[in-house]
Amino acid sequence: MASKAAYKRLSKEYVTMQREPPPFVWAAPDEKDILTWNYIIRGPPDSPFAGGEYHGVLLFPSEYPFKPPGIKMHTPSGRFQPDKKICFSMSDFHPGSWNPAWSVATILTGLVSFMLSDEMTTGSVTTSDADKRTYAARSHTWNVEQRKFKEAFPEYCTLIPRDLPNMGEKERGKPDPPAAMLPAPSTPVARLPPAPTLALSSSTVPAPKNAGVIVRPRKIVRPNNIPATIAAGPGDASGGWCAGLRQVVWEKWRWGVLIALAVIVSRITSSA
């Protein structure tokens, strides 16, 4: 069972593998066990393995990345013994030389380099270049007949071998292959959920000022003893209250004059 550190590290490396796969290799963890990774190596051009397709596994310990993995190659290649652990500097045969900074991509890139060399070690075999080319020509047919390969890479079980996402075009100074030739990722691409829609209601969002509102004239109720100019309301504030004051003064002055005249006339009459 993978430790928390191993699970986190291998999950991150799988994302990196999908985004930036190294030349001539592809790998993915087993659906049931993240410590077991299946890989495919395509034989580089200008080598006895050109055109070959080689399936194998990386067996990570639960202590990864602090301990190295075991490495096997299932497909007969003329370089390694099928289903036997391979001894080289990045495998569990050499825990003392292991560097925790190395990743799945680093391991498989190193395995390709070691495959192209003639160094003999545990798990390797000696064959001629002609034998290696013969194994390369038969490799895909051999793979598609194997249950392990069909379960690990069903998308590569085609009549003609499919190119891996990175076939080393950039390294050879050639343009990248068309996007249509690249295999689809083995895991679905995460999609962002649709943005939530906000239900607007009149109770939460105020209507624009005077929008859809019918303004009706306000009926003014005026007491009988208040002049109309004063009761006109604040709309006449510019001069209404002054005019009303003048009207009140005029009314009082007029009635005062009339009363004074009436008193004078009454006195004249009484004296006569």
Please give, one letter per residue, the 3-state secondary structure of 247-267: HHHHHHHHHHHHHHHHHHHHH
- Tokens representing 251 are 């009314």
Q: What is d(CA 66, CA 99) in angstroms, rounded to the nearest whole number?
A: 8
Beta-strand relationship, 70-73 and 25-29? unpaired
- Specify which residues 100 forms β-bridges with: none
pLDDT of residue 259: 74
Per-residue model confidence as pLDDT tens digits over 122-140: 999 999 999 999 999 999 9
Cis peptide before 65 (omega within 30 of 0): yes
Say yes or no to pLDDT of 66 above 90.
Answer: yes
How confident is the prediction for the chain on average, in pLDDT? 79
Each residue's pLDDT tens digit, 84-102: 999 999 999 999 999 999 9
Residue extents of the structural domains in the chain: 4-167
Confidence of residue 243 (pLDDT cuts 50, 70, 90): low
Q: What is the pLDDT of residues 250-262, one digit of tens each?
A: 666 666 766 777 7
Q: 17: Cβ–Cβ under 8 A, 6 or more apart, which residues?
A: 26, 27, 28, 104, 105
Instruction: Provide the pLDDT for residue 1.
Output: 86
* Residue appearing with tokens 């993240």: 34
Task: Give all strands (DSSP E) within the chain, no chain letters.
Answer: 25-29, 36-42, 53-59, 70-73
> Residue 40: what pLDDT?
98
Evaluate if residue 49 carries a pLDDT over 50: yes
Q: What would the mean pLDDT of 40-67 be, rounded to a whole number?
A: 97
Average pLDDT over residues 145-167: 97
**For domain 4-167, which CATH number applies: 3.30.420.40, 3.40.50.261, 3.40.50.2000, 3.10.110.10?**
3.10.110.10
The per-residue pLDDT for 264 is 74
Pick the more confident residue, 262 or 121.
Answer: 121
User: Dihedral of CA 116/121/124/125: which sign?
Assistant: positive
Q: Look at residue 42 and tell me whether its pLDDT is greater than 90.
A: yes
pLDDT single digits (tens) 182-223: 444 444 333 333 433 334 344 444 444 444 444 444 444 444
More confident residue, 64 or 238: 64
List residues with catalytic annotation: 87
- pLDDT for position 173: 62
186 C-beta neighbours (distance < 10 Å), count: 15
User: Are the C-beta atoms of residues 80 and 121 closer than 8 Å to each other?
Assistant: no
The answer for residues whose C-beta is within 8 angstroms of residue 230's C-beta and 6 or more apart is: 240, 241, 244
Q: What pLDDT, on the 0 to 100 scale, is given for residue 244?
A: 61
pLDDT of residue 260: 72
Between 65 and 196, name the one with better pLDDT. 65
Q: Check: pTM over 0.85? Answer yes or no.
A: no
**160 or 257: which leads in pLDDT:** 160
